[in-house]
Amino acid sequence: MSYFDDLARHLRERGVSAAEIEGTVADLTAYAEESGTDPDEEFGPAADFAARLTAGRGGATGATGVPGEPGEPGPDAETWRFHTDAFHEVVLLNRFGDQGWELEGFDMKSGFTLSRDLARPQRWEYHREMAPGFRRKAVAERLAPEGWELALAWTVWMYFKRPRSASLGPAGELDAAPEAPGRRFFYSRRFYAFIVVYVLAIAALIAGWIVIADDDGTAIGFLVGAVLGGLALVLPGLRRRR
């Protein structure tokens, strides 16, 4: 998937109209062509850029009084990214949220992107819901009264954030932010166990197929396809580990 396809997908997920996405992508493509720069370098990770393009509230304020977007770290903010799996991510988001990290975006290449205000770090908590696209609005409306704000939506997952100060008051602020974790990859044992079980299940299925249908070629083709398809679904981050 090209950078601009990825950007278009993130903009769609954020409710931008098809016509606007088409114009934006064409304009940015022209920019990248004219400047001769790599879009990833010029605009930053697609998920972050989509968040910055569509956000218009909170954050820093420039000279004209137009509010800055929350996804754009200021000079007093730091950014950190990490990869994990669906089994473990909410636990980790809450762990890092407690260290002042605010969820800003996600894409397959960079994983989760978080930022932290160095001057006044505050603690965050996270909640995840699974909902198809047509139910997202209803889910967001159900959680809004409890202070949950949609941080990002990706495939069927919706990630909500809430400042701990909403429930803890002043204790929601951190006196000092601990150092950013030294690792970027956090895969759980459950994830690796899932991979093993998944591969064994597919292998058993194919073995049964071969015995019953006596059709090695099709069965092996299916096996390869199923394994690769399954791995592509659950292993997006691992390709960046090397």
Partner 1 sequence: MATDRRASWLKGVLDLLVLATLTEGENYGYEIAKTLAASGLGQIKGGTLYPVLNRLEEAGLVAAEFRVAERGPGRRYYRLTAEGHATLAEQSRLWRSFDESVRSVLDRGEPA
| Residues in contact with partner 1 by the rule CB under 8 A | 23-35, 37, 42-44, 48-49, 52-56, 60, 62-69, 72, 74-75
Alpha-carbon gap, residue 24 to 192, rounded angstroms: 40
3-state helix, strand, coil in the chain (%, to 5): 50, 20, 30
Q: Rounded to the nearest whole angstrom, what is the least distance from the CB of residue 60 to partner 1 in the complex?
A: 7
Alpha-carbon gap, residue 163 to 161, rounded angstroms: 7
Q: Report the residue number, 97 or 105, with the smaller CB distance to partner 1.
A: 105
Q: Rounded to the nearest whole angstrom, what is the least distance from the CB of residue 184 to partner 1 in the complex?
A: 21
Q: Report the residue number, 33 or 216, with the smaller CB distance to partner 1.
A: 33
Q: Report the residue number, 24 or 165, with the smaller CB distance to partner 1.
A: 24
Q: Report the residue number, 69 or 98, with the smaller CB distance to partner 1.
A: 69
Instruction: Kindly state the tokens that stand for 48.
Output: 């972050």
Q: Report the residue number, 31 or 185, with the smaller CB distance to partner 1.
A: 31
Q: Which residues contact 169 (CB under 8 A, 6 or more apart)?
A: none
What SS3 state is found at 116?
A: strand
Q: Rounded to the nearest whole angstrom, what is the least distance from the CB of residue 105 to partner 1 in the complex?
A: 12
Q: Rounded to the nearest whole angstrom, what is the least distance from the CB of residue 189 to partner 1 in the complex?
A: 37
Q: How far is CA 23 from the centre of its chain?
A: 24
Instruction: Kindly state the tokens that stand for 236.
Output: 């997006």
Q: Rounded to the nearest whole angstrom, what is the least distance from the CB of residue 152 to partner 1 in the complex?
A: 16
Alpha-carbon gap, residue 151 to 51, rounded angstroms: 9
